[in-house]
Amino acid sequence: MTAVGTGRFGAVLNRIEKETAELRERGCPADYIPGLAGADIRRFGMAVAEPDGTVYGVGDWRTPFSTQSITKVFALALALSLEGEQIWRNLGREPSGNPFNSLVQLEYENGVPRNPFINAGALVVTDRLQSLTGDAAGQVRDLLRAESGNPAIDFVPEIAASEAAHGDRNAALAHFMASYGTIANPVPGLLAAYFRQCSIEASCADLALGASFLARRGVREDGSALLTPSQAKQVNAVMLTCGTYDAAGEFAYRVGLPGKSGVGGGIIAVVPGVCTLCVWSPGLDRRGNSVAGVSALDRFTTLTGLSVF
Amino acid sequence: MTAVGTGRFGAVLNRIEKETAELRERGCPADYIPGLAGADIRRFGMAVAEPDGTVYGVGDWRTPFSTQSITKVFALALALSLEGEQIWRNLGREPSGNPFNSLVQLEYENGVPRNPFINAGALVVTDRLQSLTGDAAGQVRDLLRAESGNPAIDFVPEIAASEAAHGDRNAALAHFMASYGTIANPVPGLLAAYFRQCSIEASCADLALGASFLARRGVREDGSALLTPSQAKQVNAVMLTCGTYDAAGEFAYRVGLPGKSGVGGGIIAVVPGVCTLCVWSPGLDRRGNSVAGVSALDRFTTLTGLSVF
Amino acid sequence: MTAVGTGRFGAVLNRIEKETAELRERGCPADYIPGLAGADIRRFGMAVAEPDGTVYGVGDWRTPFSTQSITKVFALALALSLEGEQIWRNLGREPSGNPFNSLVQLEYENGVPRNPFINAGALVVTDRLQSLTGDAAGQVRDLLRAESGNPAIDFVPEIAASEAAHGDRNAALAHFMASYGTIANPVPGLLAAYFRQCSIEASCADLALGASFLARRGVREDGSALLTPSQAKQVNAVMLTCGTYDAAGEFAYRVGLPGKSGVGGGIIAVVPGVCTLCVWSPGLDRRGNSVAGVSALDRFTTLTGLSVF
Amino acid sequence: MTAVGTGRFGAVLNRIEKETAELRERGCPADYIPGLAGADIRRFGMAVAEPDGTVYGVGDWRTPFSTQSITKVFALALALSLEGEQIWRNLGREPSGNPFNSLVQLEYENGVPRNPFINAGALVVTDRLQSLTGDAAGQVRDLLRAESGNPAIDFVPEIAASEAAHGDRNAALAHFMASYGTIANPVPGLLAAYFRQCSIEASCADLALGASFLARRGVREDGSALLTPSQAKQVNAVMLTCGTYDAAGEFAYRVGLPGKSGVGGGIIAVVPGVCTLCVWSPGLDRRGNSVAGVSALDRFTTLTGLSVF
């Protein structure tokens, strides 16, 4: 059951909205696909979901945006819940130190991606989920719908098509891994599933609620367990060390929370046991993370004293 | 004031000592310098220091061992306390994804080391500390002495000499950074300071107490502040993302605590607000971390439910 | 007009055939596609074509084999003849120092392949030839037919299909370059043309005659100019520095002639003004060059005193 | 016996001097050591030495300049003459595809330099020569003196000192190789020998005569053999594939001769059996080769039709 209200951190959110105002003129929207390039960098929303299902926010917190790489967290959680440690057969969990779509490291490491949050690793996760369920993207969407209580969450075919049309680098990654036997599904179908997964639109409210199981030691909105407590901690650990591309160290240093960003400008973050956060603002820094979003989370941990460290 | 006793985690430590017994036949001691190569891999000690100064442990917890890279944490804390954010001018804080003594990344990134815990980055920290204090190694030793209350902590000249005699790779790193202007002190003197710092011997008890300021939001044993709360959190963040060479992601996944290892077989770890831990066993895995040590910390967080995630 | 006979180097060829006998039990046939994996490594042929069109040989010199990368020389010559220096817009001519199908260098150099004889560079050449003629593979086949006087030279559809079925790494290279805009044709069609080109079967006699224009300063069998004298020298230069994958330096050191190898076990070589050579034996060394073939050419230059140095 | 005159290529040299006039305002002198940074880029000299010992030239062909990396050819020839193929134990002969002072490749290839003309490889050669003779730099100087008939050729201590003062990158390379056991002499002494060798000053006339043994199949000015004909060809092969840093492919393509450049602005080139050339002009392109020098050699092969291809 989802409740909307103004909870424990309402005042903090209002303050953050004001303090990040001038940052919302910095950065650029993702330009590699037309569907994202037109985003207005002055948009800003931030939501907090508490473990009891209360959710509240400021600004555009109920406006759907393109979730992109944030979906990688949900795909990983589903794959972990379905096959446990087996998911790590062809997948590392070390920070990459390279941009999210680099092929260099993949070659030096014989086709095994460094972690599940760089594109190559996310393709491995989607490949497994596709093999296990037959519909990886649908599973991710359905998990988000169930946890947020919002049945309107869905794919955006135009975005998926736009990603496919500009998806040569992901195609290169997928074919490269296929040459090593790292992925099992035929490349075209896998890419289609991956681009559909990335095209999901959801709001800050949806995503904060959607990720609540990570603040609740793996427990879903309905009280069932998606992950064991140990697995929930592990997903948080991977988010902290690998969740923000090659800026993960910086994000841990400044924000100090497990987080995962997407090139649509969204970032989710987890305060284990306390709450989940989602912030959105489309202006990205050169590493692909939302300028105002990182700053808002930085302010949140500074003002509340909450961080994992 | 340091008190020795059997505190909150005494039973857990006893259990861990038993459960890791068979692991203490695995791994190999560091072989790159003669001074370390002869270590007995069956040795094992583990200590917990609580924020009030209570310290207790099991096994060889009071036996001095070669601290090696663990000293990098104390050098970083001292440099941060002396010049704050300035320390990051020529130093990153991203995980490296490469072995601790790699030159490759250094070249691709124009002589700026990825983080303060790979050797290149530690040389930058020691270089700054040397410039700021005139005696980097002495400062690290004195901090450890003061925090642990153990004035016997000291350098081991034979170890420092052995490292110097086998120090071509560190010399290469230092000269390479000098060619970029990343370091300021003459290379021979800098290397001497660095090898002396690494040669410090201390016990699990000493190091758990020595690192207590990281569990106390920067506050030293005498109540004064070495670091601001924010800086203490930042050091913990860098430990979590970069503290165990190219196994940091794995360590976060399994243990879930900020930690820093050394090739002498020691590892320190921090549970913010709760305690600091130090474990020692000389058998190393292929990434240079203590086999029994990592496992002991893994057991600790599993048995106590304590982790940052 | 092609004449078969026993010319100037007949005795040398006979001697080489004997002296390389024991080498024809070394190496392995290419194993990455089934169509090549079954080749008999004891097969051996060698042919010499003199500038007047005389051709002669020893062993299996008239047996067709899979030309593979040897076709890259003919594709480059055609592209050069059609658009001259323009071909170098998105293509380097430096040795790569990496295996023929590496993606690493391609990424560091922003999608511009190092030279026309690594796979990425060959794809760029085929892409241009496809744009300029509409049938890159057909042009290469027709050039070989005309120069050798053998109208039976043709594609082998089973080999092309086998390469396509195992072509993930080439697909990765092509998509990766497409992401940089280095290639213009749609990836699937380009790959089909490239695999067809590589599937051409021809004999040592065919290829020695086919490459004769490189020993004749660019002049074709019919007296017309395919290349200017300067361009013919340039193709020879690229063959010498880049023609044998990451063993080009070794080949220059031992053989001292411009040469180009293929994973079918063939190698062509040019003695400017004197003759062209083609040798074939399917056993490959770990760098993908024919063991007996390299040795036969080494013997040839040692026995005749002919080399460019 | 050395004769000065106007031989077979006198008219060609005069024409080249005129045609490259405007290029002598391009490029920059080497700036990494003060001793070279002040060179006047308008200086230009070019000499031809014929196998009979006749030497002639244009412009500043008798002006001494800093030979730098050109000395690597003479060191390699001496090492080859002393221990033959043994020199290749810890040394490759493949083009590097990377700048002359890169550490990256060295690390990927376990401390074995790619070829004798990158700095790391030249250090290996000097290390061997030092072990074999006790005075590597003196041997190189004496060879140049003997072949050129010029006893005034000598080291320039100020240049050697300047290189040592700015030699951190070479020190890094040497220490790095020492860590792999690739070099045998203590690093400081080896570096001193290497910098002394590089500091030799000689003129175009001296160097064209000095390298004549490479056009004479290994035969020295006095009729004795420095190298076997096979070894002389091998040195020429390595010069062609590796002699001009990461522009070797371009140099082969444009000039088509074995050549070796130095950051002093000199280049030597060999037309086997015909002559040796040396050109000097201090303005360098971004890869460290003389702008006017490369162009002069390009004109020479175009005007004379001489090239190895």
Name the β-bridge partners of D280.
D45, D266
Give residue C110's pLDDT: 79
Residues of D in contact with C94 (CB under 8 A): 95, 97, 246-250
Name C22's Cβ contacts closer than 8 Å, sequence gap at least 6. Answer: none
- Is the predicted pLDDT of residue B1 greater than 50, yes or no? no
In 3D, which of C128, C139, C141, C146 has the Cα closest to residue C84?
Answer: C128
CB contact under 8 A, C169 and A179: yes
CB contact under 8 A, C107 and A103: yes
Q: To 10 degrees, the CA torsion angle through B221, B222, B228, B229?
A: 50
- Is the predicted pLDDT of residue D83 greater than 50, yes or no? yes
Mean pLDDT for B29-43 is 88
- Is the predicted pLDDT of residue C99 greater than 80, yes or no? no
CA-nearest residue of chain B to A302? B230
* CA-to-CA dists, residue C286 to C244, C255, D132, angstroms: 12, 18, 33
Give residue D1's pLDDT: 41
Tokens 């200590």 belong to residue:
B47
Selecting from C98, C249, C302 the residue whose C-beta is nearest the C-beta of D242 gives C249
CB contact under 8 A, B237 and A309: yes
CA-nearest residue of chain A to B108? A98
D275 and D9 Cβ atoms separated by less than 8 Å: yes
Q: In this predicted model, what pLDDT tens digit does every residue of C161-220 receive, in sequence order?
A: 999 999 999 999 999 999 999 999 999 999 999 999 999 999 999 999 999 999 999 999
Q: In this predicted model, what pLDDT tens digit does every residue of C253-263 receive, in sequence order?
A: 999 999 999 99
Instruction: Name the pLDDT band for D31 (thresholds 50, 70, 90).
Output: confident
Q: Give the DSSP letter string of chain B.
A: --EE---TTHHHHHHHHHHTGGGGGSSB---SSHHHHT--TT--EEEEE-TTSEEEEEESTTS-EE-GGGHHHHHHHHHHHHHGGGGGTT---S---S-TT-SHHHHHTTT--S-TTSHHHHHHHHHHHHHHHS-HHHHHHHHHHHHHT-TT-B--HHHHHHHHHT-HHHHHHHHHHHHHT---S-HHHHHHHHHHHHT-EE-HHHHHHHTGGGTTTTB-TTS-BSS-HHHHHHHHHHHHHHTTGGGHHHHHHHT-S-EEE-TTSEEEEEETTTEEEEEE---B-TTSSBHHHHHHHHHHHHHH-----
CA distance A198 to chain B (A): 25
- Is the predicted pLDDT of residue B18 greater than 90, yes or no? yes
Give residue C101's pLDDT: 60
| Alpha carbon A68 to its chain's center | 7
Q: Which residues of C touch D (CB under 8 A)?
A: 92-98, 105, 114-115, 230, 232-234, 236-238, 240-242, 246-250, 252-253, 256, 258, 272, 302, 307-309
In 3D, which of D293, D258, D285 has the Cα closest to residue D76?
Answer: D258
Q: To 10 degrees, the CA torsion angle through C136, C140, C146, C151?
A: -90
Q: Which tokens go with C164?
A: 């396509």
**Tally of residues, chain A:** 309
CA-nearest residue of chain A to C179? A168
**Average pLDDT in chain A:** 93
Instruction: Name the pLDDT band for B5 (thresholds 50, 70, 90).
Output: low
pLDDT > 90: what percent of chain D? 86
Mean pLDDT for B281-285 is 96
- In whole angstroms, what is the distance from residue C185 CA to residue D102 CA? 36
Residues of C in contact with A173 (CB under 8 A): 172
CA-nearest residue of chain D to B109? D104
- Is the predicted pLDDT of residue C39 greater than 50, yes or no? yes
Selecting from C102, C172, C178 the residue whose C-beta is nearest the C-beta of A179 gives C172
Selecting from C102, C168, C178 the residue whose C-beta is nearest the C-beta of A178 gives C168
Residue A33's SS3 state is coil
Domain C3-304 matching CATH 3.40.710.10: the answer reads yes
Q: In this predicted model, what pLDDT tens digit does every residue of B212-233 receive, in sequence order?
A: 999 999 999 999 999 999 999 9
Residues of A in contact with B120 (CB under 8 A): none
Phi, psi dihedrals of residue D185, rounded to the nearest 5°: -80, 155
**Average pLDDT in chain B:** 93
Give residue B33's pLDDT: 82
CB contact under 8 A, D93 and C253: yes
> Subunits touching C (CB < 8 Å, at least 3 pairs)?
A, D
**Average pLDDT in chain D:** 93
Give residue B11's pLDDT: 95
Write down the domain spans for chain C: 3-304
Give residue A1's pLDDT: 41
- In whole angstroms, what is the distance from residue D218 CA to residue D220 CA? 7
Residues of D in contact with B120 (CB under 8 A): none
**Average pLDDT in chain C:** 93
Q: In this predicted model, what pLDDT tens digit does every residue of A44-62 receive, in sequence order?
A: 999 999 999 999 999 999 9
CB contact under 8 A, A103 and C172: yes
CA-nearest residue of chain B to A113? B97
Residues of A in contact with B246 (CB under 8 A): 94
CB contact under 8 A, D97 and C93: no
CA distance D110 to chain B (A): 11
Q: Is the ipTM of this complex over 0.90?
A: yes
Residues of A in contact with C107 (CB under 8 A): 102-104
Q: Give the DSSP letter string of C116-141.
A: TTSHHHHHHHHHHHHHHHS-HHHHHH
Selecting from B102, B108, B179 the residue whose C-beta is nearest the C-beta of D169 gives B179
CB contact under 8 A, D246 and C307: no
Give residue D97's pLDDT: 66
Q: In this predicted model, what pLDDT tens digit does every residue of B81-109 receive, in sequence order?
A: 999 999 999 999 988 766 555 676 776 67
Half-sphere exposure of C286 (CA within 13 A, CB side): 1
Give residue D100's pLDDT: 55
Q: In this predicted model, what pLDDT tens digit does every residue of A227-277 receive, in sequence order?
A: 999 999 999 999 999 999 889 999 999 999 999 999 999 999 999 999 999
In 3D, which of C245, C239, C244, C235 has the Cα closest to residue C294?
Answer: C244
CA distance B102 to chain D (A): 8
> Subunits touching B (CB < 8 Å, at least 3 pairs)?
A, D
* CA-to-CA dists, residue D125 to C20, D57, D77, D170, angstroms: 33, 31, 10, 14
Which residue out of A107, A213, A253 would a mutagenesis test of the B interface target, given it has the greatest number of B Cβ atoms within 10 Å?
Answer: A253
Selecting from A93, A114, A253 the residue whose C-beta is nearest the C-beta of B238 gives A253
Give residue D220's pLDDT: 98
Residue, of B246 and D22, whose pLDDT is higher: D22
B44 and B292 Cβ atoms separated by less than 8 Å: yes
**For chain A, which ranges sit under pLDDT 50?**
1
Give residue A33's pLDDT: 82
CB contact under 8 A, C92 and D241: no
Q: Which residues of C touch A (CB under 8 A)?
A: 102-104, 106-108, 168-169, 171-176, 178-179, 187
CB contact under 8 A, B309 and A93: no
C294 and C267 Cβ atoms separated by less than 8 Å: yes
Q: In this predicted model, what pLDDT tens digit does every residue of A87-98 receive, in sequence order?
A: 999 999 988 766
CA distance D17 to chain C (A): 22
Residue C28's SS3 state is strand
Give residue C34's pLDDT: 82
Give residue C1's pLDDT: 41
Q: Which residues of B touch A (CB under 8 A)?
A: 92-98, 105, 114-115, 230, 232-234, 236-238, 240-242, 246-250, 252-253, 256, 258, 272, 302, 307-309
Which residue out of B102, B163, B168 would a mutagenesis test of the D interface target, given it has the greatest number of D Cβ atoms within 10 Å?
Answer: B168
- In whole angstroms, what is the distance from residue B193 CA to residue B199 CA? 10
Residue type, C297: L
| DSSP H/E element including D296 | helix D291-304
Residue C109's SS3 state is coil
Give residue D104's pLDDT: 67
Q: What is the pTM of this model?
A: 0.90
Q: In this predicted model, what pLDDT tens digit does every residue of C262-296 receive, in sequence order?
A: 999 999 999 999 999 999 999 999 999 999 999 99
Q: Give the DSSP letter string of D209-242.
A: HHTGGGTTTTB-TTS-BSS-HHHHHHHHHHHHHH
CA-nearest residue of chain D to B32? D179
CA distance D173 to chain C (A): 19
B211 and B276 Cβ atoms separated by less than 8 Å: yes
